[in-house]
């Protein structure tokens, strides 16, 4: 079974008005996987600011996510690896931190709609867009 890391955008689809994407996100997350503290923080920021979710609703959702998923901490090692990934691959800093956390957590895949589908970090995870129709 593939150990999967989830980017913030997948979690945010739980709040989406698009029922297909919301259902897909819920199904993926119910199988378990990994997120980082960065992802949880980004989820809280976007859910309250852009979706207008209450703090009570955000805390409740975060509680469920933390019970369902493993949480990779933000460490100095994550920071240093993320910087190296950003520089080496010319990626955005926050995406690089996601890839660093996924790599340190031993994940083979990163589910993200925002990163390039199919990008593979050498000796690390491959980015997969879970909302791309099968070929």
Residue pLDDT tens, the chain, 135 long: 689 999 999 999 998 888 999 999 999 999 999 999 999 999 999 999 999 999 999 999 999 999 999 999 999 999 999 999 999 999 999 999 999 999 999 999 999 999 999 999 988 999 999 988 766
Give me the CATH number covering residue 65: 3.40.50.1010
**Which residues 6+ apart lie within 8 Å of 83 measured at CB?**
93, 96
pLDDT the model gives residue 41: 97
Query: Could you tell me if residue 27 is inside a domain?
Result: yes
Query: Could you tell me if residue 135 is inside a domain?
Result: no
Query: Could you tell me if residue 134 is inside a domain?
Result: no
Query: Could you tell me if residue 90 is inside a domain?
Result: yes
Query: Could you tell me if residue 12 is inside a domain?
Result: yes
Alpha-carbon gap, residue 130 to 78, rounded angstroms: 24
**Which residues 6+ apart lie within 8 Å of 68 measured at CB?**
29, 30, 32
pLDDT the model gives residue 135: 63
Query: Could you tell me if residue 133 is inside a domain?
Result: no
pLDDT the model gives residue 16: 84
Alpha-carbon gap, residue 5 to 51, rounded angstroms: 23
- State the residue range of the domain holding 30: 4-128
Alpha-carbon gap, residue 9 to 95, rounded angstroms: 12
Confidence (pTM): 0.93
Q: Got the DSSP string for 19-79?
A: HHHHHHHHHHHHT--EEEHHHHHHHHHHHHHTS---HHHHHHHHHHHHHHSEEEPP-HHHH
Number of separate domains in the chain: 1
């Amino acid at each position: 079974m593939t150990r999967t890391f989830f980017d913030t955008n997948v979690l945010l689809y739980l709040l989406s008005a698009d029922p297909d994407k919301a259902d897909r996100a819920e199904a993926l997350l119910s199988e378990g996987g990994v997120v980082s503290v960065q992802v949880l923080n980004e989820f809280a920021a976007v859910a309250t600011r852009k979706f207008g979710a209450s703090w009570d609703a955000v805390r409740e959702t975060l509680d469920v996510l933390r019970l369902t998923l493993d949480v990779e901490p933000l460490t100095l090692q994550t920071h240093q690896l993320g910087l190296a990934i950003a520089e080496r691959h010319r990626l955005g800093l926050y995406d690089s931190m996601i890839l660093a956390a996924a790599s340190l957590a031993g994940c083979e895949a990163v589910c993200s709609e925002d990163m390039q589908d199919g990008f593979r970090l050498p000796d690390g995870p491959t980015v997969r867009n879970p909302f791309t129709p099968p070929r």
